[in-house]
A and B are shown apart, each in its own frame.
Chain A
Amino acid sequence: MSGRLLEVKGLQKFFPIRRGIMQREVGRVRAVDDVNFYVEPGETLSLVGESGCGKTTTARCILRAIHPTAGEILFRTGDGNVLDVAKLTKAQLRPLRRQMQMIFQDPFSSLNPRRTLLDIVAEPLVANKIGNRREQIDRVAELLRLVGLRPEYMRRYPHAFSGGQRQRIGIARALALNPSLVVADEPVSALDVSVQAQILNLTLELQRRLGLTYLFVAHDLSVVKHVSDRVAVMYVGRIVEMAPTAPLFATPKHPYTEALMSAVPKPDPRLRSQRIVLEGEVADPANPPSGCYFHPRCKYAVDACRTDTPTLSEVAPGHFVACLRAKELSLRGVLG
């Protein structure tokens, strides 16, 4: 694990499918199926993929919002110990929760409308019995300033704020306990473009100032490219490619990554692209295809792809890919 802040090994999360009056288990949705990755302190790793690929489930397993089916989640605590989060009991998890916090997607439903900003942002402090009331109020003022809100607003309710400001409130709440790891689940996808840029800049600035480590969950590749040091691309519960941002975008090694990047509409009419339009639909995680999960939609698939399951292997320093033909294919990335 060397100096890593977080290392996930063989993570699995299956959800049972129940049918009938007896609620008999008739199948399993393999939401997360053998996911391996690590996060270095101070960096941003993004999990990117389409809906149902398991990116949010992975993030929620790490925070133990849900209990993983199998695998290890090794987390380095503030005092240097390494703990397996997947094995801890609820009581053992409590002190750890301060060090891992979450920023949610929807700033409209993630803030209680009946509580003031002070109540909302101070809640983690109150729950962990940190400081007296005076100190808590001072800390809230400091946090609000940190995220670019005026401390005088702390007696107001969330409805008085716009989407971007509410997202700032959510960020202030997440930072209240000085976490080392912040999991941001689609933090800007509900915001307008002009506001999205402000929040992205804020997350970058906070990282520089506070040395935060981000696990960023997103579906928008332009946003991901903007904030990440490294990117992991997921498809049907598995990581298909993981690499530092620049090489991933310049020289993708997995056909799914290539297709995903080419599908992003470019904001320039002169670049009306020769897009790769994938045939068919994302595979069903309850009944995935044999071999490589992507083979039914992959234009490079050969016979072996139908039968052999590729494993994630390192093809260049730090560049991992799960594709049988990774070494022979030359795929198109995006320039610049």
Chain B
Amino acid sequence: MSNLSSERNVPVLSVRDLQTYFFPDEGIVKAVDGASFDLYAGKTLGIVGESGCGKSVTARSILRIVERPGKIVGGSILLRKNGTERELTTLDPDGTEIRHIRGGEIGLVFQEPMTSFSPVHTIGNQLIETIRLHHPLGKAEARQRGIEALRSVGIPKPERRIDEYAFELSGGLRQRAMIAMALSCGPRILIADEPTTALDVTTQAQILDLLRSLQEREGMTIILITHNLGVVAEMCDHVVVMYLGRVVEEGPVDAIFHNAKHPYTQALLRSIPSIHATTRTDLPTISGSIPHPHNRPPGCPFHPRCPDRIAGVCEVKEPPLRRVGEEQDVSCFLYER
């Protein structure tokens, strides 16, 4: 029993000081620059931020599918299973080991289900190919398993749908098929990169419900990447807030929404129009816009837009992530003593 509880307290995935840089001709883009977080079994971790904050590149780094000219230049990603640890950053991105992890242990759901399916193969073709890549099954057995996978994500008449093409499905069904494909080989971890961004709200509600029930049924661990703070509040246990490649704050979902410490998190929460707010009043805004990754400001990346910046400090040094509350960390000089 004690063994089990200690097992629970060990994260299934630990990312430490991850640095993924892109090296295009114009100079270095530090897409992810020192991200650290832990993922616990059966929980949902939200990675939230605006465009260019590095949330998708973080996910791609975990699966080692960062495209050229991108490269992991530092840090570690540890995947744990039954007491053994594997370091993902040093694996050959085309090697057998990582290819077993992709799909087999970590599944990925992309944002745009239309572009992530092949238009010239049926859903079944693609699903069966995935299943047979990871399991020694015959075509008929794999097909049966594919039908089961489609059924488990709530696709009606799966034995017919399996022979259709992606364009014949509606947006919601396509995203369900995408989830079925990610889950078809029984991964322990599911990375969902903006899974509902391209969908309507009522369809989004269906997909979020599906993810939650899959988690309850199978004890799945989920990394949910999104820019939508409403989705984060509904789904996540723990939240990582990123800005320009750095983790600026992380903590339990309640602390992030009700006791945010970082000026960026606070400003972001204030600037979303709420369905509960009074009509036709000005929203508090964050001044300026997100800098282009080529001209990343020195020091704290948020300092040019920060209302609380400390002159002579924030533009000089980068603040480290430090503990400010139970399980809550923030990288800001306001909390340095």
Contacts and interface: CB of A to CB of B under 8 A. Distances in A.
Interface string B241-281: 00000000000011001100000000111011111111111
A278 B209 CA distance: 11
Contacts of B227: 192-193
A246 B279 CA distance: 8
Contacts of B171: 51
Given A50-B200, A193-B50, A194-B267, A269 B257 contact: yes
A272 B233 contact: yes
Nearest to A245: B279
B125 interface: no
B284 A197 contact: yes
Given A201-B283, A269-B253, A195 B274 contact: no
Contact of A197 (B51, B204, B285): B285
Contacts of A228: 279-280
A264 interface: yes
A200 B258 contact: no
Most B CB contacts (10 A, CB to CB) among A204, A222, A265, A271 go to A265
Given A265-B208, A270-B254, A50 B272 contact: no
A263 interface: yes
- Size band of the interface chain A makes with B: 35 or more
- Size band of the interface chain B makes with A: 35 or more
A336 interface: yes
A197 B269 CA distance: 11
A272 B234 contact: yes
Contacts of A245: 279
A281 interface: yes
Nearest to A161: B289
Interface string A42-57: 0000000011000000
A219 interface: yes
A272 B212 CA distance: 12
Given A193-B229, A222-B274, A260 B280 contact: no
Most B CB contacts (10 A, CB to CB) among A194, A334, A336 go to A194
A264 B273 contact: no
A221 interface: yes
Nearest to A261: B275
Interface string B270-302: 011111111111111110011010000000000
A14 B276 CA distance: 37
A179 to B, nearest CB: 21
A266 B233 contact: yes
B231 A265 contact: yes
A3 interface: no
Interface in A239-291: 245-246, 249, 259-273, 275, 277-278, 281-282
A334 B276 contact: yes
B177 to A, nearest CB: 14
Given A192-B50, A269-B253, 17 more contacts: A162-B292, A165-B289, A194-B271, A194-B286, A197-B283, A197-B285, A201-B282, A219-B201, A246-B279, A265-B205, A265-B208, A267-B269, A267-B272, A267-B274, A269-B254, A270-B257, A336-B277
Report, nearest first, the 6 A-B pairs whose CB atoms are least far apart.
Answer: A265-B230, A50-B200, A197-B271, A192-B50, A226-B273, A336-B276
